[in-house]
């Protein structure tokens, strides 16, 4: 084996980490993974502080070939000049979709373009066979309606097939004590891609580190929900017409809401974005998100006044207070529930071009009489989830 070494701060990587966006710059994410991006031209320059093991006969002057899915290296910031990897027919940069930090702005734009193609397929080519012969397994350890059905619909609309479990927490071998890793090793033998929702933060990363087929995180406890964030940003672009220079109010359960966490990560990719956090004291946005936004130069502000925030924002993103995240602390749930409600008064304060979004399901945090207002975008948002998930499945299984 040949080795190459040079100089940068290192971190240990696992299989399911995001690809580095390395065009004359540093990696945005904390970690990277060499087999998650395709190099279209020869390596121009590379700065590493750890030794990288290369295949026999290669040096860092030669074209770098794709490493095994199991390879792990010590890595940090790269300075690499490459051709864009999202050219038609090329492999997708990622083996898995685990967290929002994986995606850079240009990759998001390319994914959204694929989603627009998927919308045309859904409307005009119901017999698409793009994913014919592929099987998707859905492992949902928590309840789901929109996410699960939209993934299953996406797969079938592209000609693929679905293997599914009903409430895997109770009606799979998990109820017998089987480990997540053993379940994943078994299920990957039956399918080509796994879509998993789990009640534990970090479970999707564990699944991806175990599987040799793609894994999509469909929500891991209070952690992340990356495909929801993709569809949210896609919806904002469609509804508002831009992503730079927007103001977004995140309302409700910000401590436990995996959707708002993932959305905050993605919005940080755009210029002159400002986020407002409106929540009861017991479910305020956690410091890790605030610190991340600050490190990226994203302006954010906490407020207790929903009406004032609504008057300033292009998007009011309402969320449900999640009773299931409070455990037995019902008094804290009751303290948080019902404090911030989007109703006609809030609509009256909003700008004419602004929209209301919600990842759904809702309880009483948006009154039903708001539904008739054209600024109520949450059902359009849910529909956009189909196109984004069609795009993600297509990209992971057959590429650009």
Residues annotated as part of the active site: 146-147, 176, 197, 225
The residue among 50, 76, 81 whose CA lies nearest residue 64 is: 81
23: how many CB neighbours lie within 10 A of its CB? 15
174-195 as b/e, with b when 16 or more CB fall inside 10 Å?
A: beeeeebeebbeebbeebbbbb
The residue among 200, 195, 75 whose CA lies nearest residue 146 is: 195
| Residue 159 Ramachandran class (φ > 0 left, ψ -120 to 50 alpha, else beta) | left
Non-local CB neighbours of 379 within 8 Å, separated by 6+ positions = 371
Non-local CB neighbours of 166 within 8 Å, separated by 6+ positions = none
Pairing mode, strands 11-12 and 193-198: unpaired
108's tokens? 């998001």
**Cα 223 to Cα 198: distance, rounded to the nearest angstrom:** 10
Non-local CB neighbours of 176 within 8 Å, separated by 6+ positions = none
**Cα 272 to Cα 267: distance, rounded to the nearest angstrom:** 10
Helix (H, G, I), strand (E, B) or coil at 318: strand
Cα 189 to chain centroid distance, Å, stands at: 25
**Contact, 235 vs 72, CB < 8 A?**
no
Burial of 238 from C-beta contacts in 10 A (0-12 / 13-18 / 19+): middle
178 φ/ψ angles, rounded to the nearest 5 degrees: -65, 140
The residue among 239, 230, 280 whose CA lies nearest residue 378 is: 239
**Contact, 19 vs 33, CB < 8 A?**
yes
**Contact, 43 vs 80, CB < 8 A?**
yes
């Amino acid at each position: 084996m040949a080795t190459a070494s040079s100089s940068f701060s290192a971190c240990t990587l696992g299989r399911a980490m995001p690809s580095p966006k390395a065009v004359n710059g540093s990696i945005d994410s904390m970690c990277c993974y060499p087999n998650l991006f395709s190099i279209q031209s020869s390596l121009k320059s590379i700065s590493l502080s750890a030794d990288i093991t290369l295949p026999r006969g290669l040096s860092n002057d030669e074209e770098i070939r794709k490493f095994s899915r199991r390879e792990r290296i010590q890595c940090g910031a790269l300075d690499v000049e490459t051709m864009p990897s999202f050219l038609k027919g090329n492999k997708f940069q990622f083996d898995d979709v685990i967290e929002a930090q994986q995606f850079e702005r240009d990759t998001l734009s390319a994914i959204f373009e694929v989603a627009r193609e998927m919308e045309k397929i859904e409307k005009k080519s119901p017999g698409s066979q793009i994913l014919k012969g592929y099987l998707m397994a859905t492992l949902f350890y928590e309840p789901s309606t929109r996410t699960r059905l939209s993934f299953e619909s996406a797969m079938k609309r592209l000609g693929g097939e679905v293997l599914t479990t009903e409430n895997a927490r109770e009606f799979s071998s998990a109820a017998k004590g089987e480990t997540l890793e053993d379940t994943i090793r078994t299920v990957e033998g039956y399918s080509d891609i796994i879509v998993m929702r789990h009640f534990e933060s970090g479970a999707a990363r564990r699944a991806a580190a175990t599987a040799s087929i793609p894994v999509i995180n469909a929500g891991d406890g209070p952690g992340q929900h990356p495909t929801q964030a993709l569809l949210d940003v896609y919806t904002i672009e469609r509804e508002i017409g831009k992503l730079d220079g927007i103001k977004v109010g995140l309302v409700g359960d910000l401590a436990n809401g995996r959707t708002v966490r993932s959305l905050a990560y993605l919005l940080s990719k755009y210029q002159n974005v400002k986020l407002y956090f409106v929540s009861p004291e017991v479910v305020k946005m956690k410091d890790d998100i605030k610190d991340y936004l600050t490190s990226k130069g994203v302006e954010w502000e906490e407020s207790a006044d929903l009406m004032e925030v609504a008057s300033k924002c292009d998007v009011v993103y309402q969320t449900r207070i999640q009773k299931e995240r409070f455990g037995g602390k019902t008094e804290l749930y009751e303290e948080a529930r019902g404090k911030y409600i989007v109703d006609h008064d809030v609509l009256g304060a909003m700008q004419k071009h602004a929209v209301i979004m919600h990842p759904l399901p809702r309880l009483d945090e948006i009154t039903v009489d708001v539904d008739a207002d054209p600024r109520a975008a949450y059902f359009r948002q849910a529909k956009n989830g189909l196109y984004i998930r069609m795009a993600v499945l297509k990209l992971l299984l057959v590429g650009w």
